[in-house]
Structure 1
């Protein structure tokens, strides 16, 4: 199936590794011009090198509002437009809530909520002027179901879900679709503590009806579809990709 991504311009944040890198590479393979943004310059360069000339890199810290505000204008200056935005960058601070420093919460909100809001606001203005656009926010199953010891992360990702739904309703008349993907357990660097421990890995898998963790490649077909013009009547949806974990009792 032709997803009609040839000639489109897509910004992917948190694209230096894991799910972000997988999504950036898949979008480029489908014909999109991809701007990959993240903090790690070296890792971004490795991703861009695999993009067959379709991926360019921008180093940005999502905690830095000034840098975040400059990101979309830079994409438009480079390519003349922006058709898709994948808000993937995120942090997941763990700890006991009773003794958690408020700075931990401020960081989680800055990266997981404020940065996506600023990027969506800036990108959306161009998309509305162009007559179309698509935004995909990456939340988490912890934004759909709360998880202990990840209270700030769960809270911030829950905000991403509500943000998606509200913005989708506001921008649907403008032909800008806003959707959300809530991933469960994926085999990424962020999950090394789990995947490298047989005991933790077994406990994690026991919670997943599918009986395994997902590969990053398993999020990319849905991402590409939601960035594609073919998803023009799909908006305000939250797609859970977790092997059935959050759907069971």
Structure 2
């Protein structure tokens, strides 16, 4: 609904494309001031151009501690406050676990776990001082049920789920809600190999009871609910959005 996030300030990571871009645009359409953060300056400019009144951007590498540490402060300097943090950015390297280098695990954990925790801690200081806030972590169904070939990624998203639940319990007394969205198969750039192969796409969709992949726009209403005042009693929850794939026998 237009205006439901009027006056809210949101930071969305991984906002240059896919799920992050869809959430950033959805928040802006509902009246929020959004700072979209990612590594790709060109794609961020394209995002901002869709709604320059509501969307501004910040180029950041989540593996760069110095760049990361000032991101929340940048949002506050720009808009005077921060109300919503969406930890969406992530990496998902596929590998044979027996030969996957330790350096790749470290990179996956740094981007998918350490960076979101660092941003949550920084945003949380402002939330506590101002009397509340929202943190929305984007995990994956692989964080709920493991997947072969994605051991490191699955472990990192599993950590995100437990992080969500633990932080929600710790910060509920500060009126800070922490929730998690766990998408299944969505038609994004990350799924390009599947989308470009009719055979792979057929096999992938066959495992989904809804018989299709999701569209990123279908995650926006949930992300908006979790950012809005109507979700003030929802915290520590993990919302699986996968067309029924995780729930089937």
TM tier relative to shorter chain: over 0.9
Cα deviation 1:179-232 (Å, max 9, x = unaligned): 000000000111110001000000100110000001110000000110111100
- 2:47 aligned with 1:37: no
Cα deviation 1:64-97 (Å, max 9, x = unaligned): 1211111001101111100000000000010100
Q: Distance in 1 between matches of 2:4 and 2:175?
A: 16
Correspondences of 1:156-171 after superposition (within 5 Å): 156-171=156-171
Q: CA shift at 1:4, angstroms?
A: 3.2
Contact 1:3 1:225 in 2 (8 A): no
Contact 1:165 1:236 in 2 (8 A): yes
Q: Which residue of 2 aligns with 1:179?
A: 179
Task: Provide the aligned C-alpha RMSD in A.
Answer: 0.8
Aligned with 1:28: secondary structure? helix
TM-score by length of 1: 0.99
Q: Distance in 2 between matches of 1:53 and 1:42?
A: 18
- 2:160 aligned with 1:135: no
Q: Which residue of 2 aligns with 1:189?
A: 189
| Contiguous gaps of at least 5 residues in structure 2 | none
- 2:23 aligned with 1:23: yes
Q: Distance in 2 between matches of 1:194 and 1:188?
A: 10
| Contiguous gaps of at least 5 residues in structure 1 | none
Q: Which stretches of structure 1, 4 residues or more, deviate above 2 A after TM superposition? A: 1-4
Contact 1:24 1:34 in 2 (8 A): yes
Cα deviation 1:80-137 (Å, max 9, x = unaligned): 1000000000000101000010010011000000000000000011011110100000
Q: CA shift at 1:34, angstroms?
A: 0.1
Aligned with 2:48: secondary structure? helix
1:96–1:136 CA distance, 2 compared to 1 (3 A): same
Contact 2:90 2:111 in 1 (8 A): yes
TM-score by length of 2: 0.99
Q: Which residue of 1 aligns with 2:80?
A: 80
Q: Distance in 2 between matches of 1:30 and 1:199?
A: 39
Aligned with 1:11: secondary structure? strand
Q: Which residue of 1 aligns with 2:5?
A: 5
How many residue pairs end up in the alignment?
249
